[in-house]
Amino acid sequence: MKNVKRILALSLAGCMMAGVLAGCSDDSSSGDSENKGALTGDSSIDTSEVKSIYFLNFKPEIADKYEEIAKKYKEEKGIEVKIETAASGEYEKKLTSEMAKSDPPTIFQINGPVGYSNWADYCADLKSTELYNLLNDKSLAVTKDDGVYGVPYAVEGYGIIYNNAILDKYIATDGAVIKSVDEINSFSKLSEVVQDMTAKKDKLGIEGVFGSTSLKTGDDWRWQTHLMDLPLYYEFNTGDGSSITNCLNAAELEFKYADNYKNIFDLYTDNSCTDKNLLGGKTVDESMAEFATGKCAMIQNGNWAWGQISGIDGNKVKEEDVKFLPIYTGVDGEDKQGLCVGTENYFAINSQVDAAQQQASIDFLEWLFTSDYGKKAVTNDLGFIAPFTSFGDNEKPTDPLAKDVLNWMEKDGYTSVAWTFAGIPSETWKNNFGASLLEYVQGQKEWTAVVDDAKADWKTERENAATE
Amino acid sequence: MDKAIKKWFPLFALPTVVAFTIAFLAPFIMGLYLSLCKFKTVKDAKLIGFNNYARAFSDDKFINALWFTTKFTIVSVITINILAFILAMLLTKSLKGTNVFRTLFFMPNLIGGIVLGYIWIMIINGVLYYSNATITSDPNYGFWGLVILMNWQLIGYMMIIYISGIQNISPDLLEAAEIDGANRWQKLIHVTLPQIMPSITICLFLTLTNSFKLFDQNYALTAGAPGDKTQMLALDIYNTFYGRVGWQGVGQAKAVVFFIIVAAIALTQLYLTRSKEVEN
């Protein structure tokens, strides 16, 4: 109890003192948000004075891998890379307090255009760096006017992960509605299969078709962000400009595809291995464990989840049985829809640290994505599908989910769904929407109210962001 | 002697004064200033006047958190103190194994708030499972969950304070009351309670401020779910400050309001109960 006061007081005090001290030292060098020298492509900036750089990592699940890479880098180049990791869902908070310190992160992460607008004063222009030039699709980068402020380092994909062994078992049963998984190419087909599977769940040895729709606060991102991507994509992919930009510029949300969202969301919760009323206590970890131990046949998640599936004790899912299905919601023409592919992970370099440190940070990233050791670590340890031309075909990831993402991306005639959720006005919108979904599932809120609140919230949050 | 104290006072007080200034006074003044500013990180603040306060009070979540916190504080202060006092009375009787019981009751207080939150979320969800619900099904579950948690944690601590108070009552007074023909109830009301007023003062102070400022337990147990309906003030401030872009100043303004409320409640309560304390 007293800890509360202490922790709160100490951390706030810490932040503020750091601010006081940093503020003092800044006064002498006039101008807070001014760029301290631009980054260059060649290494004309002398980095020999730089002893250490500081990388604020976004992904807790691979924090220890980064530590190993940092150790190796120190051995090779003599520069220490300080790795700090924010807890899941706490990145913005951590970044806010770390940035105020006298030794702020030199490499940090923004989650796209919205993240960029929050941190615009701190993002260095990366246009002339090798890192940007190596991108295989330059349109993926976060740009503003002529500058490049965020370079994506990992492409990810998500959809409905299914356990092929259970699906095969189902197909072998009497009266199965499909002969092969490939026949599932629309919401109606998916829903038919799922409902039939639910009816036969004892025979199939599962507790439900889908894993728990985890709606615990902080564990609801698969629904309030990822699943929300589909209605957003269809609403804003009007053929005129990128869907992300359109979404980002939308002052209001029409939520035209709300019914489609409801389709799939209801399908998840009605055919889940967990009762609706208990979903509020479920975490992502728990629901991934359900999938890994064979309690359910399908689960919505992305390629990053492989580590979680394979690492769970009592894992019964074989590597060759894990595959992706696109998330079908009943939109016209969805038979040619692919997985949701995009990135939320952009590296940014802190423009407020001195030029040599900025350069040293860039050097580290370039080393990571071009050196043999670095590339191997990226593919095997970090598990990224790196969007850089420096990676050869034989350097692509080998885990089954990442492979299947690439497989879907290369399928002829299929269109991947862009990560339009990057244009959602704020984290607050997502959290409110997640809370709404929980109340809906628990029967405390009508669907129409969920939709209306989401629309109203979109408007206020967008206005809020605009006044900043 | 007095002279020596006067002479050396500044020197001995210096470390504390320095620490107090660095860790409390300076941040506090800075906090006041920041509550009038718009800022992203604390170094680039721009003065904007009282706008942040206006926004804080027009924020439904803040008002909701204020009510929730007030209700929670009233309920938990009453339950904790009554239960702690009853336990203290029982454990000052010459029963076998009182020391063991005292230790056991005190132990929950040694566990950190976050851990407690996670322990209790399992227990509560485990129980609610039978009625097909979780702690997030209804804000009332979260409310009573927090009350139970808080009771469990603080009763032992308050009990120890009451025990020391009760043991300090001179047996002469109780004996005199008995000779005068007072029954058990009269002894409690007219002798014991007035005599332990200092303990009551301190216990009320601790429970009142601790309940009002509750953070970790709230964060770990419900994190505000469902829909921020079980969010208390400290958590709301934290979420406003760190969770909403452009709201740092508002969060800071809320923190200042929070400070004023806590200080006002604590001082009023101290004044009221102090005036009831009797000299031995």
Do B74 and B195 lie in one domain? The reply is: yes
Q: Look at B42 and A16 and tell me if their CB atoms are within 8 Å.
A: yes
**In this structure, is residue A285 part of a structural domain?**
yes
**How confident is residue B233, by pLDDT bands cut at 50, 70 and 90?**
very high
Chain position carrying tokens 């099904």? B137
Q: What is the CATH number of the domain that holds B104?
A: 1.10.3720.10
> Where is B96: in which H helix or E strand?
none
B113 and chain A: CB distance < 8 Å anywhere? yes
**In this structure, is residue A405 part of a structural domain?**
no
**In this structure, is residue B279 part of a structural domain?**
no
Do B16 and B61 lie in one domain? The reply is: no
Provide the chain B residues 208-267 that lie in CB contact (below 8 A) with chain A: 210, 213-217, 222-228, 234, 238, 242-246, 248, 255
Do A67 and A186 lie in one domain? The reply is: no
Do A240 and A376 lie in one domain? The reply is: no
Q: What integer pLDDT is reported at residue A242 of this predicted model?
A: 78
Which residues neighbour B4 within 8 Å (Cβ) at sequence distance 6 or greater? none
Count of A–B CB contacts within 8 Å?
139
Residue type, B16: T
Q: Pick the most confident of A102-116, A387-401, B88-102.
A: A102-116
Contact of B111 with B94, CB cutoff 8 Å: no
The DSSP secondary-structure symbol of B109 reads: G
**In this structure, is residue A25 part of a structural domain?**
no
How does pLDDT run across B65-110, given as a tens digit for each residue? Answer: 999 999 999 999 999 999 999 999 888 887 788 888 888 888 888 8
What is the rounded CA–CA span in Å between residue A162 and residue A321?
8
What is the rounded CA–CA span in Å between residue A203 and residue A187?
24
How does pLDDT run across A330-372, given as a tens digit for each residue? Answer: 999 899 999 999 888 899 999 999 899 999 999 999 999 999 9
**In this structure, is residue A406 part of a structural domain?**
no
Do B128 and B232 lie in one domain? The reply is: yes
Backbone angles phi, psi at A142, to 5 degrees: -85, 120
For chain A, what is the HEC assignment?
CHHHHHHHHHHHHHHHHHHHHHHHHHHHCCCCCCCCCCCCCCCCCCCCCCCEEEEEECCHHHHHHHHHHHHHHHHHHCCEEEEEECCCCCHHHHHHHHHCCCCCCCEEEECCHHHHHHHHHHECCCCCCHHHHCECCHHHCEEECCEEEEEECCEEEEEEEEEHHHHHHHHCCCCCCCCCHHHCCCHHHHHHHHHHHHHCHHHHCCCEEECCCCCCCCCCHHHHHHHCHHHHHHHHCCCCCCHHHHHHHCCCCCCCCHHHHHHHHHHHHHCECCCHHHHHHCCHHHHHHHHHCCCEEEEEEEHHHHHHHHHCCCCCCCHHHEEEECCCCCCCCHHHEEEEEECCCEEEEECCCCHHHHHHHHHHHHHHHHCHHHHHHHHHHHCCECCECCCCHHHCCCCHHHHHHHHHHHCCCCEEEECHHHHCCCHHHHHHHHHHHHHHHCCCCCHHHHHHHHHHHHHHHHHHHHHC
What's the mean pLDDT in A253-271? 94
**How confident is residue A222, by pLDDT bands cut at 50, 70 and 90?**
very high
Do B96 and B136 lie in one domain? The reply is: yes
What is the rounded CA–CA span in Å between residue B183 and residue A380?
80
Do A171 and A118 lie in one domain? The reply is: no
Do B134 and B255 lie in one domain? The reply is: yes
Q: What is the chain B residue with the closest CA to A99?
A: B41
Q: What integer pLDDT is reported at residue A175 of this predicted model?
A: 86
Q: What integer pLDDT is reported at residue A20 of this predicted model?
A: 42
Predicted confidence (pLDDT) at residue A235 exceeds the cutoff of 90: yes
Q: Look at A93 and B243 and tell me if their CB atoms are within 8 Å.
A: yes
Do A142 and A183 lie in one domain? The reply is: no
- B16 is in which domain, residue-wise? 2-34
**In this structure, is residue A164 part of a structural domain?**
yes
> CA Rg, chain B, in Å?
23
Q: What is the chain A residue with the closest CA to B61?
A: A432
Cα separation values, A276 from A255, A273, A282, Å: 24, 9, 11
Do A110 and A185 lie in one domain? The reply is: no
What is the rounded CA–CA span in Å between residue A225 and residue A281?
19
Q: What integer pLDDT is reported at residue A199 of this predicted model?
A: 92
Which chain A residues have a beta carbon less than 8 Å from that of B223?
Answer: 216-218
- Residue B260's CB is within 10 A of a number of other CB atoms, namely 10
Q: Look at B234 and A432 and tell me if their CB atoms are within 8 Å.
A: no
Do A150 and A173 lie in one domain? The reply is: no
Do B83 and B212 lie in one domain? The reply is: yes
Measured in angstroms, the CA of B137 and the nearest CA of chain A are apart by 7
Name the residue facing A277 among B112, B134, B223 (closest C-beta).
B134
**In this structure, is residue B280 part of a structural domain?**
no
Q: What is the chain B residue with the closest CA to A100?
A: B41
Do B59 and B179 lie in one domain? The reply is: yes
Do B143 and B253 lie in one domain? The reply is: yes
Do B208 and B79 lie in one domain? The reply is: yes
Enter the pTM of the model.
0.77
How does pLDDT run across B184-211, given as a tens digit for each residue? Answer: 888 888 888 888 888 998 899 999 999 9
Kindly state the percentage of chain A with pLDDT values over 70. 90
Backbone angles phi, psi at A257, to 5 degrees: -105, 30
Which chain B residues have a beta carbon less than 8 Å from that of A18?
Answer: 42
Q: What is the chain A residue with the closest CA to B130?
A: A278
Q: Look at A280 and B135 and tell me if their CB atoms are within 8 Å.
A: yes
**In this structure, is residue A426 part of a structural domain?**
yes
**In this structure, is residue B174 part of a structural domain?**
yes
Name the residue facing A100 among B42, B245, B246 (closest C-beta).
B42
Which chain B residues have a beta carbon less than 8 Å from that of A462?
Answer: none
- A123 is in which domain, residue-wise? 35-155+343-391
B37 and chain A: CB distance < 8 Å anywhere? no
Do B25 and B101 lie in one domain? The reply is: no
Backbone angles phi, psi at A302, to 5 degrees: -115, -175
Do B172 and B268 lie in one domain? The reply is: yes
Could you tell me which residues are beta bridge partners of residue A57? A85
Predicted confidence (pLDDT) at residue A270 exceeds the cutoff of 60: yes
Provide the chain B residues 146-175 that lie in CB contact (below 8 A) with chain A: 153-154
B133 and chain A: CB distance < 8 Å anywhere? yes
Measured in angstroms, the CA of B157 and the nearest CA of chain A are apart by 11
Instruction: Please provide the size of chain A in residues.
Output: 468
**In this structure, is residue B188 part of a structural domain?**
yes
Do B127 and B202 lie in one domain? The reply is: yes
Q: What integer pLDDT is reported at residue B170 of this predicted model?
A: 87
> CA Rg, chain A, in Å?
23
Name the residue facing A3 among B26, B113, B134 (closest C-beta).
B113
Average pLDDT, chain B: 88
Q: What integer pLDDT is reported at residue A135 of this predicted model?
A: 86
- Residue B180's CB is within 10 A of a number of other CB atoms, namely 9
Q: What is the CATH number of the domain that holds A53?
A: 3.40.190.10
Q: Look at A439 and B135 and tell me if their CB atoms are within 8 Å.
A: no
What is the rounded CA–CA span in Å between residue B216 and residue B206?
16
Provide the strand spans (E) within B208-268: none
Q: How many domains does chain A have?
A: 2
What is the rounded CA–CA span in Å between residue B156 and residue B103?
8
Residue type, A28: S
**In this structure, is residue A3 part of a structural domain?**
no
Q: Of B32, B37, B43, which to mutate for an interface test with A (greatest number of A Cβ within 10 Å)?
A: B43
Which chain B residues have a beta carbon less than 8 Å from that of A217?
Answer: 136, 222-225
**In this structure, is residue A99 part of a structural domain?**
yes
Predicted confidence (pLDDT) at residue B171 exceeds the cutoff of 90: no
**In this structure, is residue B64 part of a structural domain?**
yes
How does pLDDT run across B252-262, given as a tens digit for each residue? Answer: 999 999 999 98
Q: What integer pLDDT is reported at residue B279 of this predicted model?
A: 60
Q: Look at B43 and A10 and tell me if their CB atoms are within 8 Å.
A: no
Average pLDDT, chain A: 85
**How confident is residue A38, by pLDDT bands cut at 50, 70 and 90?**
low
B191 and chain A: CB distance < 8 Å anywhere? no
Do A61 and A131 lie in one domain? The reply is: yes
How does pLDDT run across A285-335, given as a tens digit for each residue? Answer: 889 999 999 999 999 999 888 878 888 888 888 888 999 999 999 999 899
Do A265 and A385 lie in one domain? The reply is: no
**In this structure, is residue B12 part of a structural domain?**
yes
Q: Look at B137 and A442 and tell me if their CB atoms are within 8 Å.
A: yes
Predicted confidence (pLDDT) at residue A70 exceeds the cutoff of 90: yes
Do A141 and A46 lie in one domain? The reply is: yes
Predicted confidence (pLDDT) at residue A197 exceeds the cutoff of 60: yes
Chain position carrying tokens 């009751």? B105
Query: What is this model's ipTM?
Result: 0.74
Q: How far apart are the first and last CA of chain B?
A: 28
Q: How far apart are the first and last CA of chain A?
A: 36
**How confident is residue A33, by pLDDT bands cut at 50, 70 and 90?**
very low
Token pair of B22, please? Answer: 């660095």
What's the mean pLDDT in A229-257? 88
Contact of A110 with A76, CB cutoff 8 Å: no
Closest alpha carbon to A359 in A105, A129, A143: A129
Which residues neighbour B63 within 8 Å (Cβ) at sequence distance 6 or greater? B57
Q: How many domains does chain B have?
A: 2
Q: Of A4, A28, A118, which to mutate for an interface test with B (greatest number of B Cβ within 10 Å)?
A: A4
Q: What is the chain A residue with the closest CA to B219?
A: A217
**In this structure, is residue B41 part of a structural domain?**
no
Name the residue facing B225 among A4, A20, A217 (closest C-beta).
A217
**In this structure, is residue B39 part of a structural domain?**
no
Question: Which of A210-232 are b and which e, b meaning 16 or more Cβ less than 10 Å from the residue's Cβ?
Answer: bbbbbbbbbbbbbbbbbbbbbbb
Do A242 and A297 lie in one domain? The reply is: yes
B111 and chain A: CB distance < 8 Å anywhere? no
